[in-house]
Amino acid sequence: MASLDSALLKQALQKGIVRRVTNDLAVGLRLRYIGTGTVTTVAATQATSVVLTTSDGGIDTYLFSDYATLGALADAINADGIFEAKVMDALRSENPDDFFVTTADQAATTDDNGVVCYDLAIDTDVAATMSCVFSPSVNFNAPKGHRVHLQQVDYIVDNTPAFDTLSIYQRKGTVETLLYAATNTDNSATSLTFASGQAKITADWDAELVISFDGTVGNAATGYIQALGIYE
């Protein structure tokens, strides 16, 4: 009965949410410092490395040539225990080499929970992909036991259409599973709903949905992906 009561309460308290990313501003990695000193610089050099300089850890350099995937890079940063890394608007399977916007000193920001973090942006046309995560835990310190329902995707993406250039994956932990694939509309405002807005894609509890465009994605000055749905 307790489990049923919990599920009914979450359903009653569900709320609508929107997440939007734009050209060259989708977040590949979100980092937060968990060391005991201070952060000096967080720097990314496209096709070379991410370098994290702190007062306690010295200089930690992560060469992209050492990591075949973005997931492997994030796991390595987490294993070192100085920063916590979260893969955001990307798939863990993507190659981090030609991926990030170069920044000599990434400015700190805060997530919705007020946690200081450093967001490494994706260079859209160099990465040749564009993605948007729809998640119950884009913020650090997010509570467990929640899920999201995706109802609609609005987008303008400069991408050559093919039968599977628009994909939706579920990411649960380190496992990414393809749930949906379709042909995208090229560089034109488009709205995708399911069963004329009467259906939705529901993620597992504590899992994320990643809307991804892959192939030959280019720079569109007005490019964006916007996901709309429900947080439960």
pLDDT tens string 210-225: 999 998 999 999 999 9
Domain 1-24+124-232: state its class. Answer: mainly beta
Task: Quickly state the pLDDT bin for 12 (edges 50, 70, 90).
Answer: low
Summarize the confidence of residues 134-154 as an average pLDDT. 96
Query: What pLDDT is recorded for position 14?
Result: 84
Share of the chain above pLDDT 90, in %: 91
Mean pLDDT, rounded, for 138-154: 96
Measure Cα distances from 36 to 62, 83, 114, 143 in Å: 20, 11, 19, 24
For residue 173, CA distances in Å to 27, 50, 70, 207 come to: 18, 23, 14, 7
pTM of this structure? 0.93
Q: How confident is residue 5, by pLDDT bands cut at 50, 70 and 90?
A: low
pLDDT for residue 90 is more than 80 = yes
Confidence (pLDDT) at 215: 87
Structural domain boundaries of the chain?
Answer: 1-24+124-232, 27-121
186 pLDDT exceeds 90?
Answer: yes
